[in-house]
Structure 1
Amino acid sequence: MSFTPLDLPQGIIQLITDELPSPADFILHQKLISHVKESKEGKRIILSVSEGWAKWQAIASKHNVNLAQEENSGSLTFVDISSFEPEESGLRQIFNVVVEALKECTPDSLVILDDVSTLEWIGVSTLDILRFCRALRAQCIKHQATLLIRHHLVVYGMPDQLFRDLMQLATYHVDVRPLASGRSGAVSGEVALHLGPNALPPASVKPIPRSRAVQYRLTDSGSIFFERGNSHGVL
């Protein structure tokens, strides 16, 4: 079966990593838009550090999705993490918002944490971030909700300690990287899929190693995925 980052099962913990030349925000936005269109009963919770509400609204509106309407109906909860104090007590307040939003939710709800790297950069300790992510994971498992966590890798080929810790929580790791030769007009980057310690049975989703990474091209309407050397063939 061909793989795109949007094809993964519901109710998983998905760690998404990227690098500066190939940001993975398109995966988060497309996942949110698809979720709004396909899951009428599910709830959406966005915990955003680096992107404001206006950016999320603007991108969704291009796909005929009205996030303000979703928020007003109670189907979507948006939390601007930068408005909280960068310390453990601030994360506890954010966690309480998530717990409240997940009450009486359906099993196909979605939680997005974008992103843990910026939390670290604004002064939250690695230990507090990890505890926060563990608590989010526990809540999502309890309510059978999907959790997406984005983490920026600063140094190519050198995963940091936070990444290694987060991997222990993940069902799957979606690895977004730029082309070694640099970005071109036809190809924006590559995506590989790695199994986490809590991956589902092998028959459910097959890993895509870096050596056979799927390539993608960003367009005004979203993203197109294709095998290497086949930039015109959509998966």
Structure 2
Amino acid sequence: MFPSSNFPSQGQFLLLTDEPSSAADFLLHKSLNSHLKGSSKSRCIVLSVSESLARWKAVSARSNTNLDSYINSESLEFVDVCAASDPPNLKAPSSAPFRPVLDELRSKLGSNGAEYPLVILDDISSLEWIGFSVLDLTRFLRALLALIFKFDASLIVRHHIITPGDPDDLLRFLLELCTFHMEVRTLSSGRSGAVSGEIALHPGRTTVPTGFRTVARARAVQYRLTDAGSVFFEKGTGEAVL
């Protein structure tokens, strides 16, 4: 199955990038649902910036996943990043605006002995767009990763790419930190009814040899979005579902 249900694994940081015409929402929801269903002790904390809890529930319901049951059992928790953070301060970018978010996350990660907690930050680019400085965001990410390592968790961060081929400072920083980079792109020929886009998986600068198979752009896995979810297949086949 692509991607693997236990990916990313403990101590790993997966950077997930997408483009306006090929949003990666379906991969975030697939990762969340697979993780929660993997074990009765699985736990996930979503640091949400751009999507409401109602939206997450509605999308998961299409895949027959009832998030309310996981919320009631505290296997799934949501943190509204904008509500929990101090407003962006353009005059003092080093004022640690995300400390309340980090404190809340630290408390949630340490509250019980969850097995393989997953943290999802969706998405980092929106925080930059609403006025947080790159300095604030890089410090936030370093502190976030320190918590991931401390609690043997895994991390997925989504970043929207507006100008493909021209990485901004924040994206370059993310590429330096990540264990893997999953790249969701539109087809060069444009979206069609049979193929919605393609996915490549690159090793990050901090990657050590693992059992996960990377996928170069030349052999990118293609996908098709359906009402019930997504279908993955080898490039150029359209039939061989992974």
Aligned to 2:32: 32
For residue 65 of structure 1, report the CA deviation from its aligned partner. 2.2
Contact 2:8 2:14 in 1 (8 A): no
Q: What does the per-residue CA deviation read over 1:89-129, in whole Å, with 9 as the maximum and x for residues that have no partner?
A: 44111111110110033341110000000000011111111
For residue 82 of structure 1, report the CA deviation from its aligned partner. 2.8
For residue 144 of structure 1, report the CA deviation from its aligned partner. 1.4
Query: Match of 1:133, SS?
Result: helix
Aligned to 1:86: 87
* Change over 3 Å in CA distance of 1:107–1:131 after alignment to 2: farther
Task: Write out the 4+ residue segments of structure 1 that deviate beyond 6 Å after TM superposition.
Answer: none
Q: What does the per-residue CA deviation read over 1:160-215, in whole Å, with 9 as the maximum and x for residues that have no partner?
A: 111110112111000110001111011010100110122131x5223211111111
TM-score normalised by length of structure 1 = 0.93
**Partner amino acid, structure 2, of 1:112:** I
Instruction: Provide the identity percentage.
Output: 48
**In the TM superposition, what are the counterparts of 1:44-193 in structure 2 within 5 Å?**
44-83=44-83, 84-87=85-88, 89-103=96-110, 104-193=112-201
* Change over 3 Å in CA distance of 1:105–1:25 after alignment to 2: farther
Aligned to 2:241: 234
Aligned to 2:221: 214
- Out of 221-230 and 171-180, give the one that drifted further: 221-230
Q: Which blocks of at least 5 consecutive residues in structure 2 are unaligned? A: 89-94
Aligned to 1:14: 14
Task: State the distance in 1 between where 2:99 and 2:61 align.
Answer: 32
Q: What does the per-residue CA deviation read over 1:37-65, in whole Å, with 9 as the maximum and x for residues that have no partner?
A: 11221221001111111000111222232
For residue 9 of structure 1, report the CA deviation from its aligned partner. 4.3
Contact 2:41 2:115 in 1 (8 A): no
For residue 7 of structure 1, report the CA deviation from its aligned partner. 5.9
Contact 1:47 1:114 in 2 (8 A): yes
**Partner amino acid, structure 1, of 2:189:** S
Q: Which blocks of at least 5 consecutive residues in structure 1 are unaligned? A: none
